[in-house]
Every structure is written in C-alpha cells, then in structure tokens.
Amino acid sequence: MTPFSLQTSKRLKQKVVNSLLVGCCLLTSACSQQKTDITRNGITFCSESSPASLNPQLDTSSTTADASSHQIYDRLLEFNTDNGRIEPGLASSWLVSNDGLTYTFQLRKGVKFHSTDYFTPSRNFNADDVIFSIDRWRVVSHPYHDISGGNYPYFDSLGLGNTIKDVKRINGYRVEISLYKPDSSFLANLATDFSVILSAEYAMALMKDGSPSYLDRFPIGTGPYKFLSYRKDQFIRYQRHNDYFLDSKGPENLVFDITPKSSLRVAKLITGECDAVAFPSQNDLETIRERDDLTLLEKPGLNVGFWAFNTTKAPFNDPRVRKALALAIDKTSLLEAVYLGQATRAKSLVPSASWAHQSNMQDLGYNPVAARKLLDEAGIPFNFTMNIWAMPVQRAYNPNAMKMAQLMSSYLADVGVTVNIVSYDWARFRENLTLGMHDSVLIGWSADNGDPDNFYRPLLTCAAIPSGTNRARWCNEEYDVLIESALNTEDENERRIFYHRANQVIFRETPLVPIAHAYQYQAVSNNIQGMVINPFGGIRFDDVERTP
C-alpha cells in the first residue's frame, strides 16, 4: 500500500519532471563554445614547460627563449627565418673593418621601451642600452654580472667574453665593438635568441631601489609584446606593445598556457583552448594531419640528438669503451621507434640543412660482436653497470628520451652491459649534468643560428665544459685548434675543410654518438595566420594574427 493517492503522485511527478527539464535546458544552453571579443583579440599558445627565467641571456633552454626572446626583446640583428641571412634589427646598418676586428653599428632611432605598471621609460633606446646589455655578461666586474646567478651559458660556452675587447659608444646612436681576434660567427651570435637588448635605464632604477634581480623577473624590452604576469606551471601573459618600431599585426593579448603533457596540448588544440602548440608528440602527428581545422607545420630542424659519454669518468675516458658502446646500439631501429621515422640518421653534429654538412662521413654501424670484442680489449667485465640519463622533457631532437633509454638498455644487455636509467626534473637534471654526475646522457642541441660553429663549439670544446653545454665533458686540443682555425677563416670552403677534419676527430674519439636530426613540428589552428617555424631559435608571434 502506498501512503499517497495516485493523483498527488501524478502532480508531484509532473513537477519533478518539469524541474528536471528546466535544469537540463539551463545546462545545455550554457554549452557552446563561442568566440567572444576578448578571445578574438587574443592568442593562446600552449607551451611545454615553465621558463627558468625571463631573460634568455641566463639560460640556453628553448623554453626560456620561446617565452622571452622574440616576445619581449629585440636584438641588434635578426635572422631571416627563411634563409638564415642576417638582417637589421635594432641596428639599422653595420660596418665591419677590413681586418675583421672592429664592428660599427648604426642604431635605429625612435625605438620605445615598454611602459608597464612597474616601469615607465623616460627615453628611447640608444647606445647605452647596447653597452649595458653586452657588458652585463662580458665584464665580470659589472654591477649586474652576478645578479641572478652570474651564469651566461651561451656566451660562456662560446667564450665570447674573451673575444670582445671593448664595446664603445661613438655617439647616442652609434656603437663600436672591437675584438681581440677575428670571429666569422660574431654577427650570427649577435642575432641569436640570447643577445637581447635590455633597458639600461630600467636596470639603473632597479639598482637604486635595491631590487636588481627584478630585471630578469619583470622584464622590460623593446619587443612586440610587453610582459604582464607569470605564474609557474600555469601561464605567462603578454600584452601588445603598441609603440613597437615595426608594423606588428599581432593580437592585443598573448598567453602562454603552460601544459607539460603533449597529449593534453593537442587535445586543447582540438577543443580550441589553444591556438597553437609547441612540440606535438610524434604519436599525435597523424591526428593533426587528418583534421581539417588544424595545420601541421614542419621543417627539417637545425638540431642533433645524441648520446654523450662523461669522458672524465672511468671507464668512459677510454675511446675504445665509447666506441664499443656506440657499436652496440642499432640507431636505425631507434629512429623508427622513438622518432617514428620523422628524423634523419645523424652521422656528425651538423644536419644537411647546414652548409658545413659532410655527406660522405663514415658512420658506426650496429655490430654487437665487434662491440663486445672492444669491451674485452678495454677490460670491461661482463655485467658491467652504467647509467643512462634520460632527459625528462620532449624536444624535437629527442621526443622521448626515456623510451630511447629503455631500448638502448636492451641492446646494451646483449653485450653484457647493465643499464640504470636516471631522470630528474628538468632544472635539476641540467644542474646535475653540469656537475658531471652522469655516466652518459641522452640529450641534444638545437642551433641558435645557422652557423656551424654553433654546433661544434658549444657541444665539444674545452671552454664549454664549465658552462654545461659540453655534456661529454670532453676536452681535446686537436679539436679545439680546428674549431678555432675555422672561426678565423672567412671563406666558407676553407672553413668547411676544418669542420670536416673536426668530424674525423669526433669519429675517432667518439665522445658522443650522434643519433638523429629531427624534423621540427608546430601544430596550429587554421584560425591563425602568419605562424612560421623559426629554425634559428625561439617562437615568434609578431606577425601572427587571427583570421576573422
């Protein structure tokens, strides 16, 4: 028996059904993603990681360069993203003396720095800003040199501080840089992501306030976007710099949505929460290609993924051991499994896109028998244990270092070498690498400029050990002399010969095993126009716009 009559129950039921219906309607009416004013005037870029700093002078990681270099700052010179030629930036023209020792730059007039909540500039860009920006990393006694750690890894690895003799002000808009010795890659270095121009006026104001480290956390530059706010692992916000000295079509607002998981980045691109994503993973490339509303940009990258041995540690100081380990792995199957065929096999440091590439270079093939023989010669026992450090982030040159390390460990097990795979979070990983705590590491290098010196010098010269870009910690006099000679030579053909001889040294000594030159990818929504892959460094948004 029910306690209620049928009639009341009907009425109540009707009410319930009605209220449920209303609820559903409310829910569904809220469900449609539309573009509103603000989303039409803004672009969201899903980046892969949090930048360590907002000043690219302090860090060589591409995350930092992406977040700051071409957004907040400008350089004296710029690379043309198509052909790699050097073009005017903040310097409208330049003159190189006949002996190659003196560079004179004519600076652009009327370039305005950002005016933000935390700083209002009283003057335009001039020679003082150039001198400040270069002297900060060049002069050890500069008041700003030790602020934010005092490490300038890019310049330190190239030894540029010791190349430059003086940076002199001729007049307000003319600067003269003199060198100790000719350096054929000097102009290219001034065009890299790291040679940004900071505001000297802002730096002095901060010094007066006693908070100089704000220079790198609340940046002021001349670039197309000004910095608004940054929350680690969450977002970076920028706003258009309306007084930018070039015509910029860029949106009113730019946001970097920091999304470490690559599958999530692609999912957000599909739902329209991102307009463009960094480093789509190899697994997702097909999905992106199949969709009509997305575009996949690709370009052969100026990069190299490699396996570097810590040559300061026994037994990896023995070239026979390094060569044996190189022979024990099958690079071809690594290329298929890790890069899914989206890369070319690397034989030396520079990819075929560079003029210094050597196509007839020898390569170490897969030969486990020879590998074991070499290991026996070097006195390495069976069941020798070593570690492979696998970097925790995806990069074009190595989209999945962990998987690669696992594959390699099975190859190495075949020749009687046991592998422990080690990984830390990215900042700690690089810190410990610089301290030389690894046996071997899977990492790589993306070029900052089109010059081959940008591969040979930071990756393997002696001077690059303390700055941490020489992951093999390998120091070879013959190699250093060759690289030095190449730099003192203006003629491309003569330089090429030096680099090819350096390739022979690398092949003989095997401080590292080059694995792959990967394609670079960027996935973009079709609503966005003007995105290009910048093979010479960080991502650029100055000419990116949303189509109506």
Local structure of 368: helix, strand or coil: helix
Q: Rule CB under 8 A: say whether 4 interacts with another protein.
A: yes
In the numeric block, the tokens 């670039």 are attached to 223
Buried b (16+ CB within 10 A) or exposed e, 304-329: bbbbbbbbeeebbebbbbbbbbbbbb
Total residues contacting another protein by CB under 8 A comes to: 40
Q: Which of 10, 12, 166, 382 binds another protein (CB under 8 A)?
A: 12
Q: Are 225 and 241 in contact (CB under 8 A)?
A: yes
Q: Rule CB under 8 A: say whether 10 interacts with another protein.
A: no
Residue 498 DSSP one-character state? H
Q: Of 97 and 229, which CB lies nearer to another protein in the complex structure?
A: 229
Closest CA to 68 of 547, 544, 541, 546: 541
Helix axes 401-414, 319-328, angle to 10 degrees: 100
Q: Please give the single-letter amino acid code of residue 540.
A: R
CB of 253 to another protein, least distance (A): 5
CB of 396 to another protein, least distance (A): 24
Q: Are 498 and 453 in contact (CB under 8 A)?
A: no
179 strand-pairing partners:
164
Helix axes 200-209, 127-138, angle to 10 degrees: 60
For 299-320, the three-class secondary structure string (H helix, E strand, C coil) is EECCEEEEEEECCCCCCCCCHH
Of 131-139, 165-173, 253-261, 368-376, the window that binds another protein (rule: CB under 8 A) is 253-261
Q: Which of 253, 281, 295, 342 binds another protein (CB under 8 A)?
A: 253
- The torsion region of residue 365 among left (phi > 0), alpha (psi -120 to 50) and beta comes to beta
CB of 211 to another protein, least distance (A): 16
Q: Are 396 and 353 in contact (CB under 8 A)?
A: no
Q: Which of 14, 18, 80, 234 binds another protein (CB under 8 A)?
A: 234
* Binding track over 17-56 against another protein, x by CB under 8 A: ----------x--xxxx--xxxx--x-x------------
CB of 139 to another protein, least distance (A): 24
Sign of CA dihedral 417, 346, 356, 391: negative
CB of 257 to another protein, least distance (A): 5
Q: Rule CB under 8 A: say whether 273 interacts with another protein.
A: yes
Q: Which of 62, 126, 248, 259 binds another protein (CB under 8 A)?
A: 259
Q: Of 37 and 292, which CB lies nearer to another protein in the complex structure?
A: 37
Q: Which of 232, 286, 414, 418 binds another protein (CB under 8 A)?
A: 232
CB of 271 to another protein, least distance (A): 5
Q: Of 266 and 302, which CB lies nearer to another protein in the complex structure?
A: 266
CB of 241 to another protein, least distance (A): 17
* Binding track over 425-454 against another protein, x by CB under 8 A: x-x---------------------------
CB of 193 to another protein, least distance (A): 24
CB of 258 to another protein, least distance (A): 10
In the numeric block, the tokens 């400029």 are attached to 449
Q: Rule CB under 8 A: say whether 272 interacts with another protein.
A: yes
Return the number of other C-beta atoms located less than 10 Å from residue 347's C-beta. Answer: 20
For residues 176 and 303, what is the distance between their CA atoms, to the nearest angstrom?
33
Phi then psi for residue 389, to 5 deg, are -90, 125
Q: Rule CB under 8 A: say whether 16 interacts with another protein.
A: yes
Closest CA to 440 of 384, 396, 363, 379: 384
For residues 301 and 193, what is the distance between their CA atoms, to the nearest angstrom?
16
For residues 431 and 397, what is the distance between their CA atoms, to the nearest angstrom?
20
Closest CA to 365 of 404, 321, 327, 411: 327
The structure tokens listed for 89 are 């930036």
Q: Of 6 and 140, which CB lies nearer to another protein in the complex structure?
A: 6
CB of 40 to another protein, least distance (A): 10
Of 7-15, 90-98, 157-165, 435-443, the window that binds another protein (rule: CB under 8 A) is 7-15
Q: Of 239 and 342, which CB lies nearer to another protein in the complex structure?
A: 239
Q: Which of residues 407-426 bind another protein (CB under 8 A)?
A: 425
CB of 249 to another protein, least distance (A): 18
For residues 222 and 501, what is the distance between their CA atoms, to the nearest angstrom?
42
Q: Rule CB under 8 A: say whether 257 interacts with another protein.
A: yes
Residues lying near another protein in the complex (CB under 8 A): 2-5, 8-9, 12-13, 16, 27, 30-33, 36-39, 42, 44, 228-229, 232-235, 237, 253, 255, 257, 259, 264, 267-268, 270-273, 425, 427
